[in-house]
Amino acid sequence: MSSESTPASSKAHAIPLQTLYELLAPVTVRAGDPRATFTNWGLSFTCTPLSVFQPETERDCELILELARREGKPVRVAGVGHSPSDLACTTGFMLRTEKLNKVVEVSERPCPCQRKRGCERAHASRIAISSRLLVPVWLAQSPVIAEISEPAIALDLALISFRHSNSVNVEKRYVVAQAGIILSDLHVALAQHGLAMRNLGSISDQTLGGVVTTATHGTGMDFPVLSTYVCALVLLLADGSRVRCSREENHDLFMASICGIGSTGLILEVTLEVEPAFRLREVQETQSFDEVVQNLDSIARASQHVRLWWFPQADVVRVSSSDRTNEPRNPVGTWLWHSLVGYHLLQFFLFVGRYVPDFNLWTGRFAAWLIRDRTVTVDDSHRVYNIDCKYPQYTTEWAVSYEHAQACLREMRTWLDREFADPAGLRPHGGIEVRFSAADDIWLSPSNGERTCWIGLVQYKPYGLNVPYRKFFAQFEELMIKYGGKPHWAKTHPLGPAALRALYPRFDDFVRVLGEVDPRGTFRNPYVQRHIFGNDAGENGPRVFKKLP
C-alpha cells in the first residue's frame, strides 16, 4: 500500500509516554466536563468513553492513535452525533472531529474525477500558514511548503500550524475538505464559489466524514448515494500512516472506506465532486395511497428528486417533486412544519399520544389534513433537500430493491391497517418517508448493484420522553427482511455477519481490508464488533449504550 509520505508514526513511537500525555493535554476533555459524555442527537444512545479528545491538527490525531496503540485501547471517531444508533459509541477513546473542519485546496495533483470525466490536472492554489497550532513532521518535506517564503517557515515546522486557505477548485468542480466539516458550513463555503453539492440527505447537521462512511443518500432515481461523489480520501490508519486512496490508488481501501462505518481508519480529507450552484423548484401535493403506489414508477421518474411522505392513518401520500430551475427564490412554508406555534402544537399532540395511544391516529390524520394543499417553492438546493427533523426521535430505515417497492409498500399498508383496526394494535406516529436512489458499485452500499427504494420510520420523543417503538420497528424489520431489504448503516438494525454476507457480495473483501489495515481492531467499537464480526455478547450488545430502558 502506497502512502503519501513517510509515516509519522515512526517518530511518534519515540515519544516518551509522559510527553505523549502532555502533548495531548490541550485537546483532552477533562473528566466532569459535559463533553466527556457522548449522547446522540436522538437522545437514544449515550456513552462515557475512557477519554475524549478534540484534536485540532493531524498531528494531534497521530498522537491519539499512538497513545491508543501503547495502551491497547480502541478509538472511535465521532462527529456531531446525528446517527440514531450506537455507531459512534465506545468505552475506549473517542476522537471528536469538530475542529477538523477546514475547507482545503489540494495543489499540484491530478483531479481525482478524471477517471470518468476527463478532468485535467488541478493547479496549485494559495496556502496560508499560521503559527499557532501543530503540524505533522511529514509536512516539513512538502514541496508546497518549501516554495513558500513566509517568515514563519524559519520556525521549527513541528511547532507551527498548517492551514490551507478556504478555497475550492471552481474550474474542475471539486472540493477538498477535512472530514469533520459540518455540511451546513460546507454549503456556505461552496456558495462563495458558486458551487453546491449535487444531492443531499434530509439534514445538513452532520459531518462530511459521517456522510461518506455511512453511504448517506438523498433521493432521485438517477442520483446514487452521496459516497459515489467522493473522488479520493486521505486516511490516517491505525499504525499512524497517512494514506491517500481513490479508485485508481489503493482501490480496495477506497471502496471499503466510502461506506466503511468508520472502521478502516480516520478520514482526514475528502475530495468531493460538486456542481455549479443551483436552485430547486419543489412541488408538493397530496394524493391517495392507491394512486401513488399504482403509478409509483411514473411519479418517481417525473422529476429529478422525488420524496414521498406517507400518512397511513389518513391513507394519503404527500408527493414532493423537485427539479433544477432558474426561477427566482420563492420559499414557501407551511403553518404546521415551519411555525413556532405548529412546532409546539404538534409536540403537545405527540405528548398526549404517549399516554393515549389512539390519539396518534387522530394526530396523523390532522397532520395530513393541515398540509393537504398544493404548494410550490423555489429555493437554494440545500434548503429544499433538507427538512426540519423537529424533535429527538427513534428511527429506522431500510432499502429494498426498487422492483419490489410496490409490493412492499402494499404489504406495509395491509399490516398497518390491521394494526389500526385492532383495539390493542400499534399506534405509530405519522409520516413514513419513502425515497429512491440509483445503483452503485460501493462494496457495502445498500444500493450496490441495484436501484433502491428507501423506507424510513420515525417515532418522535416529545419533550425528550421515551415512546414505544421496539415492537413497531421489529415487525417492520421482519417485513424488510422478507423483501431482501438492507438497513441504513447509521441506524439500528439486527443483522449480523451471516445475514450481511448474503446481502453484500463484497462483504468478505471488506472484512479482508479491515484485517490488512487494522489487524489489532483499533477502530472496532461494539457496533462494528457486533454487525461485522458477530461479537454481540456482553459489552458489544445492542442495548449496552441505550440512554434509557
User: What is the full DSSP assignment across 197-248?
Assistant: -S---S-S-SBHHHHHHTT-----TT---GGGGEEEEEEE-TTS-EEEEESS
Q: Evaluate whether 174 touches 112 at the Cβ level (below 8 Å).
A: yes
Judging by DSSP bridges, how do beta strands 51-53 and 93-96 pair with one another?
parallel
Tell me what pLDDT residue 537 has.
87
Tell me what pLDDT residue 388 has.
84
Number of other residues whose CB lies within 10 A of the CB of residue 391: 18
| Adjacent-strand bridge partners of 454 | 399, 435
CA distance 520 to 515: 8
Tell me what pLDDT residue 510 has.
98
Q: Which amino acid is at 112?
A: P
List the helix and strand counts (H, then E) for the chain. 19, 22
* End-to-end Cα distance, the chain: 45
Number of other residues whose CB lies within 10 A of the CB of residue 355: 7
Tell me what pLDDT residue 538 has.
86
CA distance 391 to 483: 30
CA distance 179 to 104: 10
Tell me what pLDDT residue 165 has.
35
- Report which of 319, 411, 320, 419 is spatially closest to residue 361, judged by C-alpha positions: 419
CA distance 92 to 396: 26
Q: How many CA atoms lie within 13 A of 161 on its CB side?
A: 14
CA distance 444 to 501: 10
CA distance 145 to 147: 5
Number of other residues whose CB lies within 10 A of the CB of residue 144: 15
Alpha carbon distances (Å) from 370 to 147, 494, 536: 62, 36, 45
pLDDT, one tens digit for every residue, the chain (549 residues): 654 544 555 588 899 999 999 999 999 999 999 999 999 999 999 999 999 999 999 999 999 999 999 999 999 999 999 899 999 999 999 999 999 999 986 223 445 454 443 333 222 222 222 222 233 322 333 333 333 333 332 323 222 232 333 456 666 689 999 999 999 999 999 999 999 999 999 999 999 999 999 999 999 999 999 999 999 999 999 999 999 999 999 999 999 999 999 999 999 999 999 999 999 999 999 999 999 999 999 999 999 999 999 999 999 999 999 999 999 999 987 655 566 677 888 899 999 999 999 999 999 998 898 888 999 999 999 999 998 888 899 999 999 999 999 999 999 999 999 999 999 999 999 899 999 999 999 999 999 999 999 999 999 999 999 999 999 999 999 999 999 999 999 999 999 999 999 999 999 999 999 999 999 999 999 999 999 999 988 888 888 898 765
In this structure, what DSSP letter does residue 184 have?
A: H
In sequence order, the 6+-apart residues with CB closer than 8 A to the CB of 460 are 347, 350, 390, 391, 392, 393, 429, 467
How many Å is the Cα radius of gyration of the chain? 24
CA distance 324 to 336: 26
Q: Evaluate whether 102 touches 181 at the Cβ level (below 8 Å).
A: yes
Q: What is the pLDDT of residues 368-421, one digit of tens each?
A: 988 889 999 999 999 999 988 888 999 999 999 999 999 999 999 999 999 999
Tell me what pLDDT residue 344 has.
87
Alpha carbon distances (Å) from 210 to 28, 339, 374: 22, 30, 35
- Three cell numbers, residue 495: 443483522
- Three cell numbers, residue 515: 484485517
CA distance 503 to 444: 9
- Three cell numbers, residue 140: 516539513
Tell me what pLDDT residue 162 has.
26
Burial class (CB in 10 A: 0-12, 13-18, 19+), 463: exposed
- Three cell numbers, residue 409: 409498500
Alpha carbon distances (Å) from 310 to 42, 220, 409, 431, 458: 22, 17, 10, 5, 12
CA distance 282 to 321: 5
Tell me what pLDDT residue 543 has.
85
Cα-flanking dihedrals φ and ψ of residue 69, to 5°? -60, -45
In this structure, what DSSP letter does residue 442 have?
A: -
